[in-house]
Chain A
Amino acid sequence: MPKREWIHAWLLLLPAFVFLIAFTHLPAVQTLIDSFWSTPKGRRPAVFVGGDNYARMLADPILAKALWNSAVYAALTIPASVVLALAMALLVQARFAGVALMRMAFFTPTVLPLIAVANIWLFFYAPGFGLIDQIRGLFGLPSVNLAGQPETALYAVAAVTVWKEAGFFMVFYLAALQAVPPALREAAAIEGCGRWTFFRRVTLPLIMPTTLFVTVNATINAFRLVDHVFVMTRGGPDNATMLLLYYVFENGFRYWDTAYAAALTILLVAILTVVGLGQFFAADRRVHYR
């Protein structure tokens, strides 16, 4: 009798697993294997090169730049979007005239295609007639090409990411804030506890699980969200906005150096795995779901 249940279960799982294995597990394993081989060129087949691709990574100045950029990009976008998301949630959790409009303003970027809004932002940043330059003009400041000069390009790209994801994270904070028991607030008021103290000592610890969840998502996004780079800067100027995933794309599909791209993919997967394991252990210790 239990045997039949087993077969039913396996049959139900079979179709999903065909696709999972074919497009996630096998490619992941194949990527690892490929990273130890050379790129086949024309009639020359791939040869086993051991750790050559990885050795090349160590000596690759553009990769070093891309890793540094990815770190800066993460260090900018993660705290900014998390703090803004919390601020937004605190702002729109109250009831007042126009709160629906404010909430909508914050959330709208979430549903817009990143590639499309990149066009709008590029227009925003455009030297001379872009809105930012026009505002600078009012103060007599000279024109700047924010997305086009190496000093500011990465910040210009990071600003779009924060704009895109903060409203999304706000939703999770809103739900968390609603779960803070009102009785606590009353008790704190009786004790003469100020609003700021209450927020710091009661609200903030209570919404810690959400902060962790949002932070992990922001971290994954920091390595995954590169669509706007394609429109805004293409990794330039002078590799100023070269991010790890974009570099994988460049090697894989612009230079067709698939072996090196495979090794870079492994690096990316390793980083994401560390983030994922970090989440797992942190969640185990201080977060209780449900």
Chain B
Amino acid sequence: MTGAGGLDRALMRAGGWVLALVWMAPLIYALWSAFHPSAYEARFVLTAPLTLDNFATAWGKAPFARYFLNTILLVTMVLAVQLVLCTMAAFAFARLEFPGKGVLFALVLVQLLILPDILLVENYATMFRLGLVDTILAIGLPYFASGFAIFLLRQTFRTIPRELDEAARVEGCSLLGLMWRVYVPLGRPAMLAFGLVSVSHHWNNFLWPLVITNSVETRPLTVGLSVFATTDSGIEWAVINAATLMTSAPLLLGFLLFQRQFVQSFLRAGIK
């Protein structure tokens, strides 16, 4: 009985490793071709010489430094504004009583369903009227008030004991002081979780930035990469793969270093 169970388990595990290998295969393949001369991109011999030329070629053929800067500016700006706006709103929803609370909260939840990505035609028209087409600000604007962040932080703030409010009031804390000194520090794990999700989402976001940008000075990495990879100038696969790895590297490294936090954050952000 136990013998059969053990065999069962061993088979399952072997299947698991096959699945894991399939899951890693695209990345392994990309790593192989990016670090070897293009002659070896489809020939797998262990003696193939290693090279960084593909990265150098990719870096030289497109303004990746600028794309990196644009993406970093974008994700920093979006996250900073999101945290400020959504903390304020979440605090109001979690702790204050006021007329219209239910309706306003429902309006926030609408955004969980109708994501800004879907309204791209109309948002483009808005940016056009504001004269903001082809700016980094325009990429970020639709995401500044995140319904998801408001929802997540509200849930967290509601778990903070009310006695702390009373204590802070007795100490003479104002409402903003209460939010800043009590709620923000206690909500930090949730903010960190949201931060990781937000940064990876905006680092990876593509459709809206593609629509709203059309110059090197504003394009984020994802759009820059797609422009680079689809120009039919006969760029070698090895170079495209090098560029691909380059653009994903910061997130990938961050994930490998802080795996637990990443997984926890995605989990937290999803379940609430």
Contacts and interface: CB of A to CB of B under 8 A. Distances in A.
B98 A6 contact: yes
A105 B25 CA distance: 9
B248 A268 contact: no
A27 B126 contact: yes
Interface in B243-272: 244, 247-248, 251-252, 254-256, 259, 262-263, 266-267, 270-271
User: Interface size bucket, B side?
Assistant: 35 or more
A120 B222 contact: no
Contacts of B230: 231
B204 A129 contact: no
A113 B142 CA distance: 20
A262 B248 CA distance: 33
A181 to B, nearest CB: 18
Interface in A88-107: 88, 91-92, 96, 100-102, 104-107
Nearest to B24: A105
Contacts, number: 254
Interface stretch (A12-20, A48-56, A140-148): A12-20
Given A16-B88, A265-B119, A116 B96 contact: no
Given A101-B20, A112-B248, A258-B125, A12 B89 contact: yes
Q: Is the interface of A mostly helix, strand, loop or mixed?
A: helix
B17 interface: yes
A253 B226 CA distance: 17
A9 B111 contact: no
Contacts of B136: none
Nearest to B142: A23
For chain A, which range describes its interface: under 10, 10 to 19, 20 to 34, or 35 or more residues?
35 or more
A175 B264 CA distance: 10
A217 B124 CA distance: 26
Nearest to A87: B19
A113 B206 contact: yes
A113 B30 contact: no
Nearest to A251: B121
Contacts of A2: 97
B203 interface: yes
A120 B26 contact: yes
8 contacts: A24-B142, A100-B259, A102-B17, A111-B255, A117-B248, A265-B118, A265-B122, A272-B113
